[in-house]
Every structure is written in C-alpha cells, then in structure tokens.
Amino acid sequence: MAGPTAPEARGTDFRPPRIGVRRLNQDPPLSRRLTRPSEVRRLIRELDLRPSRGRGQNFLIDANILRCVIDSAGLEDGDGVLEIGPGLGALTAGLLERGGRVTAIEKDGRLADHLRRLMPDRRALHVRTEDALETDFGELFRASVCRVAANLPYSVGTRILVRIVDAEPRPETVAVMLQLETARRIAAAPGSSDYGPLAVRTTAFFESALVKTVSATCFYPRPEVRSAVLRLVRRDTPAIRSDAYPRLVEILRSAFSQRRKKLSNTLPDLDLRAVGIDPELRPHRVPPGDWYRLAERALHA
Ligand code: SAM
C-alpha cells in the first residue's frame, strides 16, 4: 500500500496549513474551543508563554461564564466594543461571533500577535498592543465604540475600571470580570462596609449590578482570588453635573481616607447641613445623591 499522499498531490483545492489560524464559524465555534482547558494549555505551550501573575494572565476556561459576560454587555449586531486584555482570544471570538466590531487592547506583544494570526476577519477586529492604563478611552468612546466587555487583569482591574467611569464620553454598557472584592465595592449600597468612593463615583453615571460570582476553577491558571461579573448600564442623565465631578472626587477622598471619623472632622469647611447631611454621620452612611448635592454646592461656596 502506498504511503500517505503528499498534500500537493491531492488536488487543486489544497491550501497550505497556516499554523494557529482557525475559522470563526466552525462547529463548535472558536470561542467555545478556546475555553477548553486542553486548548488553553496547548496555546500556552505553542506561544512559549509563562502566564504572568503580574499581568493577571488567568484565562477563562468556562464557556458559560464567557456567555454571561457577552450577554451582560447587551451586544447588538454591528456594535463597536472595546475588549481589554484579550489574551488567547476566547472572549474576542465570542464578541465577533455575536457580530461585534472589536477593538482589543493587549499589553503582551506575543498575545497581541497571536490574536492577529488567529482571527480571520480583520475588518471586524482591531488589535492594539498597548497598556490599557495609557489608552485614551474617551477617544474610543467618541468614535464608534459604545460597549466594553473584558476579563480584566486583576492587578490593574480597579484602575482600568475607574478610567472607564471617568472617561468622556462614557460607554453605554460595561460588562467586566474582575476581582469579587472590587465588584462588591462598586455595586455596594450605602451603609455597607464595602460602600465608598468607587460606588459613589460609578453610580453618578451608571446603574451597576453584580451579575455572578465566579469560582477560581473557571480560570487557567487558577487565580488566588474569587471573581465576579459586573454590569454597568449608563444612565440617560448623569446624577451629578459634570463640572462638579472633580470636586466630588476630592470630597470623597477627604471623607473616606478616615472612614471611622465623623464628617464634621473630615470635612470641617463644608456646610453639610445645607444639603441635609448630618455632620455626625460617618461617610459610609451618606447616600450617593447627598454626595452629589454637596459637591455641586461646594462649587459655588
Ligand atoms: N480575555 C482573556 C480571557 O478571558 O481568557 C484573558 C484575560 S486575562 C485575565 C487578562 C489579560 O490582560 C491578559 O491577556 C494580559 O496579558 C492582559 N493585560 C494585563 N495587563 C494589561 C494592561 N495594563 N493593558 C492591557 N492588557 C493587559
């Protein structure tokens, strides 16, 4: 019996194999295959990657959680979506499969190159090798990007989220995986121990919801912390005047830097009673609306 036929001899439709290139609409879809632990391990070997803790390189290996992030983003066909830290590309593929036009920002050059090779449709995907802490998000949101979907690197997740909340203009929806502790602080209600500047600042522009807590077993390698999917939906009208927002940030910093102290001690120069705040309160008891009124009034004081 003859040995294996040389590919060139098989017929005219032969195309040379392109290593690492996959088709999006295969069955199962690429996003699902990229969440398989065996595939993640294979790609890590192929790329000679040592997943870095400092860069929060914990790759999602659970297709249901991936779908939860995409659903939470409320993506519609043709929407421009920003992904931060695409890594091996599972979420990127999922967003493309839903018809998103994806701008992906990845700091690790090997992963960014891998993504450019992996995804066949260049028109719907723009990969930028860049530190998301330096990205001008406002510029992206002013252009055509209206949503954010990401599995954020833990080490810088809070800083990236704050930069998105502070961006001008802001995206319509944000669906992110991040450390559970951070998600709780953002979605916290007044009076709880998690409530603080993060919740007050975010609530000024977004309604937030902690959608799902996520176990460390959903990632490879496993992180040491638990995670959560957080959803933010932009308010039609911000709850604070935009010119008072910088003042709000300063006031919150002063009040919460000593959260056990009464406001009469930490904010002695502000007329708290004028906006109905009891100076005997500690800062975590003050609801967001009172902080916004205080900041707006302090502008004119
Ligand atoms: N999206 C992939 C997934 O869900 O499996 C990977 C998520 S992994 C938690 C975080 C990704 O963010 C990694 O690919 C890492 O290289 C990247 N990253 C870390 N710091 C970054 C930064 N400052 N800017 C952009 N990307 C960063």
Nearest CA to ligand 1 atom 17: 85
Looking at the CA of residue 153, tell me the nearest atom of ligand 1. Answer: 10
Instruction: For CATH 3.40.50.150, list the domain ranges present in the chain.
Output: 30-234
* DSSP strand pairing (173-179 vs 227-234): antiparallel
Residues framing ligand 1 (Cβ under 6 A): 55-60, 84-88, 90-91, 105-108, 111, 131-133, 151, 153, 156
Question: First and final CA of the chain: distance in angstroms?
Answer: 94
Residues forming beta bridges with residue 81, ordered by sequence position:
102, 147
186 vs 15, 179, 226, 285, CA distance in Å?
A: 51, 11, 15, 16
Mutate to test the pocket of ligand 1, among 59, 105, 226 (most ligand atoms within 8 A of CB): 59
- The ligand 1 atom nearest the CA atom of 155: 20
Model pLDDT, residue 119: 85
The string of DSSP codes covering 10-39 is S-TT-----TT---TTSSS-HHHHTTSHHH
CATH 1.10.8.100 region(s) of the chain?
242-299
Q: Which atom of ligand 1 is nearest to the CA of 132?
A: 24
Walk along the chain (301 residues) in steps of 10 and give the mean pLDDT of each run. Answer: 35 34 67 97 96 93 98 97 98 96 97 91 90 98 97 96 98 98 98 98 98 98 96 98 97 96 97 97 98 95 75
Both tokens of residue 117? 């090779």
CATH topology of domain 242-299: Helicase, Ruva Protein; domain 3 (1.10.8)
Mutate to test the pocket of ligand 1, among 62, 65, 107, 110 (most ligand atoms within 8 A of CB): 107
CA 43 – CA 108 distance, rounded (Å): 15
Ligand 1 mean position, distance from CA 85 (Å): 3
Structure tokens at 241: 């005047």
Task: Point out the ligand 1 atom lying closest to the alpha carbon of residue 83.
Answer: 1
> From residue 5, how far is each of 1, 8, 12, 19, 82 by CA, in Å?
11, 8, 14, 20, 45
Torsion of CA 32, 78, 116, 111, to 10 degrees: -60
153 C-alpha vs ligand 1 centroid, how far in Å?
5
The closest alpha carbon to 124, from 101, 147, 148, belongs to 101
- pLDDT confidence of residue 27: 77
Cα(207) to centroid of ligand 1, in Å? 25
Q: Are 169 and 139 in contact (CB under 8 A)?
A: no
- The CATH code that applies to domain 30-234 is 3.40.50.150
- Name the token pair of 279: 């100076």
pLDDT at 58: 97
Q: Over the stretch 89-130, which tens digit does the pLDDT of each residue have?
A: 999 999 999 999 999 999 999 999 999 999 866 789 999 999
Residue 109 Cα, ligand 1 centroid: separation in angstroms? 11
